Amino acid sequence: AQTVTQSQPEMSVQEAETVTLSCTYDTSESDYYLFWYKQPPSRQMILVIRQEAYKQQNATENRFSVNFQKAAKSFSLKISDSQLGDAAMYFCAYKGRSQGNLIFGKGTKLSVKP
């Protein structure tokens, strides 16, 4: 069975600084997708970024980028120029190529200090 591990329950970053959230996963599949979701206090689940396992190039979305290391089964999220609005829970998630549903990590609570 696939598992997703986020080893940092809480992280803190100064406004305008850079922070990296860690995620590791375990799978025997070769084709899959990885995601980072943001959950602000409103509870809404917001897709931040996604990565296809067959792509070697790391995904980037504005201030958000990932470091995808397929052999190490690692998928970290880097947030550059952190803003107060980035404060939220961040969930790493896995989806196999033929699966319909996501497997989530336990989340990392990110605080941004002004």
Q: Which residues bind another protein (CB under 8 A)?
A: 4, 6, 9, 33, 42-45, 47, 50, 52, 91, 97-98, 100-107
Q: How far is the CB of 101 from another protein (least distance, A)?
A: 5
Contact status, residue 48 vs residue 60, Cβ threshold 8 Å: no
Q: What are phi and psi of 84, to 5 degrees?
A: -55, -35
| Cβ nearer to another protein, comparing 106 with 113 | 106
Q: How far is the CB of 107 from another protein (least distance, A)?
A: 5
Is 84 in a helix, a strand, or coil?
helix
| Cβ nearer to another protein, comparing 48 with 79 | 48
Q: How far is the CB of 15 from another protein (least distance, A)?
A: 27
Q: What are phi and psi of 28, to 5 degrees?
A: -105, 0
Structure tokens belonging to residue 114:
């002004």
